[in-house]
Amino acid sequence: MSVILETRDVSCVFRVSGGFMAKKRSLHAVNGVSITVEKGSVLGLVGESGCGKSTMAKMLLGLQAPTGGAVLFDGEPLGDMDRLARARRVQPIFQDPYSSLNPRKSIEDIVTLPLRVHKVGGPADWSARAAEMMDLVGLSRRYLTSYPSQLSGGQRQRVAIARALAMKPEVVICDEPTSALDVSVQSQILNLLMDLRQELGLTYVLISHDLAVVEHIASRVAVMYLGRIVEEKDTETLFGNPQHPYTRALLASVLTPEPGKGVPDAQLGAAFPNPLAPPPGCMFHPRCVKAMPHCSTTPPQPVPSGDGHVECHLYAPARKNVA
């Protein structure tokens, strides 16, 4: 498979006000991230709130310019493309279909919005495309004259998917696509996304804190912590043999399917650190059960592991025997 989307050492630094009379400080939302996404695959991007997932999503969509490195689409910098070229390549599906759909617009207007914004075709084309998209996402065409408030949560997310696909993009960035939905409709939406991927040859970047969803549909997984990818592997290897202590803690925090066992201890003793004042050395060291003295002073480097990498001193060549 060929690489369709790639980031090379990409960073995004925000200057944040420190308060009245205080100096502005730098927030490294994304800090030197390199990922590749192969055509037709699903890359799962997981991590806690504040780890940089949403900033990554915005950069992959061309909505946020990186402050360092580059985002490449088919080898071409995304930042060099005009808005129409970008919109034809990559589209988003957002978390909350309640807030991402304009309540005053009809479903037809919502689904065809990208075509109208980018002036692709005319009114007759837009109506035809809207009907085609409704068929594609399994919604009756009669809803085209309805408004979002007349639809259920699952139906609204189908509308959001129809809108994302109206431009016939190659890549879809799915930002927590099911987390605002009832459990009963989550699997329907996930199955729809997987069917569409098969049918249209789509590539997904799936941003989620729900590891069960990621395990179900991702081909590869990247685990993000304070702006860094700390482990990246194919899904089976990562879930079967997690190496980074943070990945292990994340997996341990997933609800067990056995009744009565409850939520296992995530082993993350300390709270998620303030991204404005990240810990020195390995940024995970205040929460790490395996931390060693030099972890608090020396940042770990990525170490090749399996077909990906892990970023932890435990796996540095001289220390492999103690992992």
Q: In angstroms, what is the minimal distance from the CB of 74 to ligand SF4?
A: 35
Number of residues that bind ligand SF4 (CB under 6 A): 14
Distances in Å between the Cα of 303 and the Cα atoms of 15, 232, 307 are 31, 11, 11
Q: Which of 45, 101, 137, 312 binds ligand SF4 (CB under 6 A)?
A: 312
Residue 163 binds ligand SF4, judged by CB under 6 A: no
The amino acid that residue 63 corresponds to is L
176 or 311: CB nearest ligand SF4: 311
137 or 238: CB nearest ligand SF4: 238
Binding mask 262-301 for ligand SF4 (x = CB under 6 A): --------------------x-xx--x-xxx--x----x-
Count of alpha carbons within 13 Å of 35, Cβ hemisphere only?
Answer: 31
Read off the tokens for 249. Answer: 């803690």
Q: In angstroms, what is the minimal distance from the CB of 299 to ligand SF4?
A: 8
CA distance 235 to 163: 29
Helices (H), 201-279: 211-217, 235-240, 245-252
12 in helix, strand or coil?
A: strand
First vs last Cα of the chain: how many Å apart?
33
174 or 226: CB nearest ligand SF4: 226
What is the dihedral angle through the alpha carbons of 100, 105, 107, 113, rounded to the nearest 10 degrees? Answer: -70
77 or 269: CB nearest ligand SF4: 269
CA distance 60 to 96: 19
CA distance 89 to 168: 8
89 or 309: CB nearest ligand SF4: 309
> Going by C-beta distance under 8 Å and a sequence separation of 6 or more, which residues neighbour residue 33?
7, 9, 10, 11, 52, 56, 69, 224, 227, 228, 229
Q: Which of these, 91, 56, 62, 59, lies nearest to 223 by C-alpha position?
A: 56
Q: Is 8 exposed, middle or buried (0-12, 13-18, 19+ CB in 10 A)?
A: middle
Q: In angstroms, what is the minimal distance from the CB of 242 to ligand SF4?
A: 12
Binding window for ligand SF4 (CB under 6 A); candidates: 42-50, 61-69, 189-197, 306-314: 306-314
Residue ranges in 176-195 that form contacts with ligand SF4 under rule CB under 6 A: none
Q: State how beta strands 42-46 and 203-208 pair.
A: parallel
Read off the tokens for 263. Answer: 């939520």
Read off the tokens for 203. Answer: 């590539």
92 or 242: CB nearest ligand SF4: 242
186 or 243: CB nearest ligand SF4: 243
202 or 268: CB nearest ligand SF4: 268
Residue ranges in 237-256 that form contacts with ligand SF4 under rule CB under 6 A: 244-245
Q: Which of 57, 72, 202, 314 binds ligand SF4 (CB under 6 A)?
A: 314
Residue ranges in 13-72 that form contacts with ligand SF4 under rule CB under 6 A: none
Q: In angstroms, what is the minimal distance from the CB of 316 to ligand SF4?
A: 9
Contacts with ligand SF4, residue ranges (CB under 6 A): 244-245, 282, 284-285, 288, 290-292, 295, 300, 312-314
